[in-house]
Amino acid sequence: MTPAHPKAQDVVLRLDTITKRFGPLVANDAISLTLHRGEVIALLGENGAGKTTLMNILFGQYTADAGEVTVFGHPLPPGNPAAALAAGLGMVHQHFTLADNLSVLDNIQLGTVPLWRMGLGRRTARAKLAKLAADFGLSIDPDALVGSLAVGERQRVEILKALYRDARILILDEPTAVLTPQESDALFDTLRRAIKTGLSVIFISHKLHEVMALSSRVLVLRHGKLVGEVATRDTDRHALAALMVGAEVPPPSVAPQNPGPALLTLRDVSTRNIGAAPGLKSVSLSLRAGQITGLAGVSGNGQAALSDLISGLTTPQSGAVEMPNLPDIWSPRGAISAGIARIPEDRHKTGSIADFSLTENAILETYAQAPFSRNGLLNWAAADAHTRHLIATNDVRCPGPSAPIRQLSGGNMQKLILGRVLEASPKIILANQPVRGLDIGAITYVHKRLLAARDAGAAVLLISEDLDEIMALSDVIHVVSEGRLSPEFARGRLTAAELGLWMAGIGFAHAA
């Protein structure tokens, strides 16, 4: 991958004392780094450490208050995304930036030719795409609609889009967040092939085992400063985690637990499809007291349908939901009254209201209950006291209860939502992607709280696309694929690769 001793003339990117302030907040504090030809560096840091700000400066979306970016020996004009692209910078985002209703070829050509050009140069574009696909092992049908592609195939399109624009420096932001282990391995094989041709990569990930597998150097940001740089061969995951948060981060201890009775049971439940995403297909599942049930699967395979059903947002098309004291009407209010609490998949879209204060968000699902409601009026004193309690007990770093929740980092927003959910000691906890996009410190905190809830007798359904998380926390594991649910697997029974086969649907085919 990277030469053992990179030469100065091999430097393709240099950031020199980059500083960026947002009012009194210093997001980037005199950060300097270099990237060499054919090298992979990993950029690590807690949420709010300054990684995204630094990349936005690199791509011209922000302008630095001080410092300079040099690409292939030439200063990069600040605040000019077009200049960044022209200089050979490319980025594959965590959330794909593709148009589902257009073909692969159309997506790759978007923005590269004027729309008024006759034929848009499609014959030349098709030939170039075919050569790139062959050179890098990224086979794809150029005429396929992107909306019909699997997640791994969309990832290929994103990479081909960057390579088509002749990117010589590629930035990958959490590129495996929605991939199976097999798809992740295929992605890394592709990247290694590209690196051998001279492609340079900045790799941003919270998955430390991937950082260890792909990178040659690791740079760590903390509170806007570059606090460490180390050769990957000279470190390990535990040392990197400690460097990120400034202290040792012991993994949560998962002691064996004897589960209690089933608190919620689904019997042969089917639900309607949600747009292009499948509904549930004759799913049977039991959530037991004192047990974490892990649900693994590639995004868009029925997780949303199961989450909506348990949250009371949808009802079964067929089959039955069973639980003690089942409400007469299955609805979100009924689910809450039955003791079901929800950590939603998207903390921004469905977990909070951006312009509401922390106090308003803290009582979103309980405002009609005592002590927050009195004689039909909101008891703001009680709500404010409750929010201050959540802030203190969950280490939510914020200006105060009256601040809009949009001012919080993702990790602190998640801590408030977690406190809101767990404070009432719910019987059943739906934890849907509870640590998505969080740093190692916040992940450890969330995991400890979920384990404590389990040990207190709650039934926890953990929905995650991160197999490491599923395998580390779950007492039993199911896999969902195209709305179908696998048999129950005891903790430690299957390897990540074996679970990955179920995630890809192969295990279902063999079982059939």
Which pLDDT score is estimated for 9?
60
- Of the chain, the percentage scoring pLDDT greater than 70 comes to 94
Range in 2-16, 310-324, 354-368 the model is least confident about: 2-16
Helices (H), 118-228: 122-136, 151-164, 181-196, 208-214
Q: Please, what is the average pLDDT of the chain?
A: 86
Which pLDDT score is estimated for 191?
86
Residue 470: φ, ψ to 5°: -60, -45
Range in 120-124, 353-357, 393-397 the model is least confident about: 120-124
The radius of gyration computed from the CA coordinates of the chain, to the nearest angstrom, equals 24
Beta strands in 333-418 (DSSP E): 340-343, 373-374, 377-378
Whether the pLDDT of residue 509 is over 50: the answer is: yes
- Its CATH class, for the domain covering 252-339+427-512, is alpha beta
3-state secondary structure 228-258: EEEEHHHCCHHHHHHHHHCCCCCCCCCCCCC
Q: In this predicted model, which residue has the larger pLDDT, 512 or 500?
A: 500
- pLDDT category of residue 4 using cuts at 50, 70 and 90: very low
Mean pLDDT computed over 445-470:
91
Return the CATH number of the domain spanning residue range 1-88+168-175+199-249.
3.40.50.300
DSSP 8-state code for residue 65: S
Which pLDDT score is estimated for 201?
94
3-class DSSP state of 384: helix
Q: Which of 244, 149, 145 is nearest to 444 (CA)?
A: 244
Residue 414: φ, ψ to 5°: -65, -35
Q: Which of 68, 369, 45 is nearest to 204 (CA)?
A: 45
User: What is the separation, in whole angstroms, between the first and last Cα of the chain?
Assistant: 43
Asked, as a colleague might, if the bond just before 278 is cis with ω within 30 of 0, I would say no
Q: In this predicted model, which residue has the larger pLDDT, 340 or 465?
A: 340
pTM reported for the whole predicted model? 0.69
Q: In this predicted model, which residue has the larger pLDDT, 133 or 356?
A: 356
Which pLDDT score is estimated for 286?
96
How do the domains of the chain map onto residue ranges?
Answer: 1-88+168-175+199-249, 96-167, 252-339+427-512, 353-425
C-alpha span between 265 and 426 (Å, rounded): 17
For the segment 160-192, what is each residue's pLDDT rounded down to a tens digit?
888 888 889 998 887 776 666 777 788 888 889
Token pair listed for 247: 């202290």
For the segment 466-482, what is each residue's pLDDT rounded down to a tens digit?
888 899 899 999 999 99
In a 13 Å sphere around the CA of 382, the CA atoms on its Cβ side amount to 13
- pLDDT category of residue 94 using cuts at 50, 70 and 90: low
For the segment 13-61, what is each residue's pLDDT rounded down to a tens digit?
999 999 999 877 788 999 999 999 999 999 998 777 888 889 889 988 8
- Of the chain, the percentage scoring pLDDT greater than 90 comes to 41
For the segment 260-289, what is each residue's pLDDT rounded down to a tens digit?
999 999 999 999 987 667 899 999 999 999
The length of the chain is 512
Mean pLDDT computed over 241-252:
76
Whether the pLDDT of residue 11 is over 50: the answer is: yes
User: Residue-wise over 199-226: b if at least 16 C-beta within 10 A, else e?
Assistant: bbbbbbbbbbebbbebbbbbbbbbebbb
